[in-house]
Structure formats: structure tokens, C-alpha cells
């Protein structure tokens, strides 16, 4: 990395790590490319028997990354929306029972925020694949619970939904207003470059850091977005969704080409992140 950029803050706003994946190697790769902080989101690991175990695993990973890689890490905890399908398939439990279990998992994540172990609730929301009207209604109910718990905990909520449209933002903004959580604390993960507030209506976009989306987000020039890889750390899908070097690589390329100023980078990777996730509070 260019020596003059060594103190530049660079945050991947949505990354997964797995003790059975590349794990610390992936974190070191991120750091070696210029990364300084990650928002670590628990993986939807279907093999773990309880959400509590999933959360404790994620918190353990975060602490290892802090200690052994020397990165700043903020943890996001919550039941992935696809759990509703897993919990109800083959008659394992009823839809109502699944809603109760996932709502309980959200409240548990809220407790971790209140205790200072996590910075946000997520990724929660709605399945990104076709589901029945009943499952969609149940998912919306669970998502509302997430908004309510986040409002009480005064933290952000990170959302996974179907493909994002302007209509999606309107729905999310209306829900935020109804529940009483600031729109800015609603983070749309895996977001296209809808960075203008007339498009996102105040919901905070976490833009996928591929070439096309990053270029479009930067072109707006106001820096009101986050950048993420959604790195899965899945041995069966190496590099998916984007590799751990992507966010620092894209950021430094744009710095060198003049597409971003140092002030822009501080806003995207430090100011926005600290304001939304409170990473300035010791994480």
C-alpha cells in the first residue's frame, strides 16, 4: 500500500467470517490491502443449535480479529430472514412458532447491544427469494420487531431484503417513522448505488463495492453511504460475494485517481460508520 495512505480509515461495512473458513487469514488480507475496521455480521450457520451459540461464536471471532489482526470490529447480531424457511420446512415447526423464535432471537441480539457487545441488530428483514404471502407477512412482522428493539436500544438495524427499489425505501421509511427509529439508523445492506436522499428517503445505503456500484455511488459526490463486500467466508464459494481486499482496493484506487478525496474517504469510512454504528466507543 502507498505509504502516504497508511493512516486512511477504511471500513468494510458488511463482512462475515467463519472459523471453518479463511477466518483470520481473510481478516489479515483485508488489513494488508489497507483495511482498518470491519462490521462483522453473524453468518446464518444452520448447523448451530441455538441463536445464542451463533452469537457467542460471532463475538468470539470478533475478539480474535481484534487481538490477532489488530482491526477495529463492530458486531451485528440477528436471525437472517432465510431462517424462517429453514425453521418451517418439512413441518419442523409452524409459521407462528418460527415468528416467536426469531423475535426472541432479535430481543437477545438487542440485549447484546445493551450490554455493549454488539453495535446493531441484523441482518434481518425479508427473504430475497419468492415466498408465500403468509411467509412474507410473517417476515414483515419479524422485521418490525427488529425495528422496535433497535429503537429501544438506540442502535442501527441492518436489513436484508428482496432486490432494492425506490418502493422498498418508501416502505422501510414508513416503518421507521411508525416505530420511531431514525431513518438513518436503518441500513440497507447489499444496496445498489441509491445514494441520493430523494431515492433512499433517508434510509442509509450500504453499497456493494463492485466496480459499477462504487463508481456510481462516488459520482454523486456527497458520500452518504457505506461500502461493503458481503464476504461470506464460505469454503464452497471462495471469494463470494466479493473478496476481503475489495473495499480497501476500490477506495485506494479512487483516491489515487482523484475520484475520491481524503475528506471523502474519512466521511464514508469513518464519520458515517462511527455515526451509524458507534465504532468510536471502544470496539
Model pLDDT, residue 1: 54
The model's pLDDT over 76-88, given as tens digits with 9 standing for 90+, comes to 999 999 999 999 9
Edge-first strand order for the sheet with 72-77 is 11-15, 37-41, 72-77, 120-125, 156-160, 186-191, 204-208, 226-228
The pLDDT, as a whole number, for residue 134 is: 97
Q: What is the pLDDT of residue 48?
A: 78
**Average pLDDT, integer, range 140-145:** 98
- The model's pLDDT over 186-201, given as tens digits with 9 standing for 90+, comes to 999 999 999 999 999 9
What integer is the mean pLDDT of 61-75? Answer: 98
For residue 203, the 8-state DSSP code is P
CA atoms within 13 A on the CB side of 103: 14
Buried b (16+ CB within 10 A) or exposed e, 179-198: bebebebbbbbbbbbbbeee
Q: Which of 17-21, 49-53, 157-161, 191-195 has the lowest mean pLDDT?
A: 49-53
DSSP classification of residue 267: I
pLDDT tens digits, 230-252: 999 999 999 899 999 999 999 99
Residue 51 confidence (pLDDT) above 70: yes
Q: What is the pLDDT of residue 45?
A: 79
Other residues' Cβ atoms within 10 Å of the Cβ of residue 6: 9
Return the domain boundaries, the chain: 3-277
Beta carbons of 22 and 197 less than 8 angstroms apart: no
**Arithmetic mean of pLDDT, 200-215:** 97
Neighbours of 122 (CB within 10 A): 29
Report pLDDT for 2.
62
| Alpha-carbon gap, residue 211 to 187, rounded angstroms | 21
- Proportion of the chain above pLDDT 90, given as a percent: 90
Which residue intervals of the chain are DSSP H helices? 24-32, 51-69, 83-88, 95-114, 133-153, 166-179, 197-200, 211-220, 246-257, 262-266, 272-277
pLDDT, mean over the chain: 95
Distance (Å, whole) CA 183 – CA 177 = 7
Q: Residue 4 carries which DSSP code? A: G
- Cα distance from N-terminal residue to C-terminal residue, the chain: 25
Query: What DSSP designation does 48 have?
Result: S
| pLDDT (0 to 100) of residue 147 | 98
Tell me the CATH architecture of domain 3-277: Alpha-Beta Barrel (3.20)
For position 129, what pLDDT does the model report? 95
| CA 232-246-172 angle, 5° bins | 65
**Whole-number pLDDT of residue 92:** 86
Amino acid at each position: 500500500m502507498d505509504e502516504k495512505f497508511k493512516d486512511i480509515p477504511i471500513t468494510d461495512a458488511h463482512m462475515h467470517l467463519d472459523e471453518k473458513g479463511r477466518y483470520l487469514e481473510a481478516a489479515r488480507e483485508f488489513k494488508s490491502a489497507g483495511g482498518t475496521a470491519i462490521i462483522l455480521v453473524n453468518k446464518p450457520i444452520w448447523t448451530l443449535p441455538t441463536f445464542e451459540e451463533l452469537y457467542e461464536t460471532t463475538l468470539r471471532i470478533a475478539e480474535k480479529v481484534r487481538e490477532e489482526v489488530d482491526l477495529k470490529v463492530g458486531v451485528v447480531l440477528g436471525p437472517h430472514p432465510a431462517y424462517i424457511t429453514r425453521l418451517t420446512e418439512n413441518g419442523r415447526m409452524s409459521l407462528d412458532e418460527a415468528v416467536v423464535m426469531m423475535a426472541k432471537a432479535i430481543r437477545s441480539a438487542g440485549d447484546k447491544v445493551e450490554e455493549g457487545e454488539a453495535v446493531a441488530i441484523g441482518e434481518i428483514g425479508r427473504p430475497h427469494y419468492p415466498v408465500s404471502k403468509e411467509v412474507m407477512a410473517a417476515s414483515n412482522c419479524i422485521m418490525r420487531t427488529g425495528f422496535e428493539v433497535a429503537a429501544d436500544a438506540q442502535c442501527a438495524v441492518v436489513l436484508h431484503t428482496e432486490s432494492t427499489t425506490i418502493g422498498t425505501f418508501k416502505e422501510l421509511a414508513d416503518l421507521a417513522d411508525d416505530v420511531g427509529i431514525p431513518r438513518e439508523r436503518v441500513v440497507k445492506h447489499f444496496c445498489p448505488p441509491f445514494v441520493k436522499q430523494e431515492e433512499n428517503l433517508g434510509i442509509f445505503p450500504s453499497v456493494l463495492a463492485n466496480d459499477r456500484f462504487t463508481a456510481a455511488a462516488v459520482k454523486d459526490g456527497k458520500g452518504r453511504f457505506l461500502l461493503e463486500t458481503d464476504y461470506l467466508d464460505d469454503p464452497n464459494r471462495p471469494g463470494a460475494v466479493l473478496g476481503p481486499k475489495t473495499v480497501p482496493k476500490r477506495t485506494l484506487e479512487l483516491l489515487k485517481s482523484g475520484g475520491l478525496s481524503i475528506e471523502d474517504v474519512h466521511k464514508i469510512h469513518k464519520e458515517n460508520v462511527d455515526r451509524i454504528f458507534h465504532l468510536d466507543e471502544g470496539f
